[in-house]
């Protein structure tokens, strides 16, 4: 018992519709803007030293507490990395050998320079060699 030509056409049309719907949804997600944290209240207010030391002392406990949370962070800029689409700064942590807290921005940070004391807000993503904050923005005081 085989499928008729009409059944095969219906199956083909359904497959094409699912592929088009899936592709359209994927394109929507790809182009969707990440919402700003400007109006999101911070879960924690810390210095770069405090945040780094928490991860350095007990990474698992710090991940449980801070991962995915919005952090209001202050510290000294020790490194800037600016390119066309993404910018980042590294805030000093005195107990870190190579850096401290890496904060990435999707907007311009042209007003910042090395040595500046800065206050920013970002979402904590975890710990590699530095603590990582994404979707950051500078809080103007």
Among 47, 49, 58, 50, smallest CA distance to 94 is for 49
Return the pLDDT at 34. 60
Return the pLDDT at 86. 78
Return the pLDDT at 95. 85
Q: Are the C-beta atoms of residues 100 and 48 closer than 8 Å to each other?
A: yes
Among 141, 121, 131, 118, smallest CA distance to 36 is for 121
The Cα-based distances of 121 to 9, 48, 87, 96 in angstroms read 54, 12, 15, 21
Over the chain (141 residues), what is each successive 10-residue block's mean pLDDT?
77 89 82 70 93 94 95 92 82 85 83 89 91 88 54
């Amino acid at each position: 018992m085989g499928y008729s030509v009409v059944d095969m056409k219906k199956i083909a049309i359904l497959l094409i519709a699912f592929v088009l719907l899936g592709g359209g949804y994927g394109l929507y997600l790809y182009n969707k803007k990440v919402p700003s944290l400007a109006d999101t209240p911070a879960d924690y207010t810390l210095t770069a030293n405090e945040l780094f030391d928490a991860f350095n002392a007990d990474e698992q406990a710090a991940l449980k507490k801070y991962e995915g949370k919005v952090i209001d962070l202050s510290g000294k800029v020790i490194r800037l990395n600016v390119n066309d689409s993404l910018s980042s700064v590294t805030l000093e942590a005195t107990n870190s050998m190579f850096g401290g807290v890496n904060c990435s921005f999707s907007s311009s940070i042209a007003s910042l320079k090395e040595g500046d004391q800065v206050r920013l807000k970002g979402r904590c993503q975890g710990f590699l060699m530095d603590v990582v904050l994404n979707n950051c923005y500078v809080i103007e005081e």
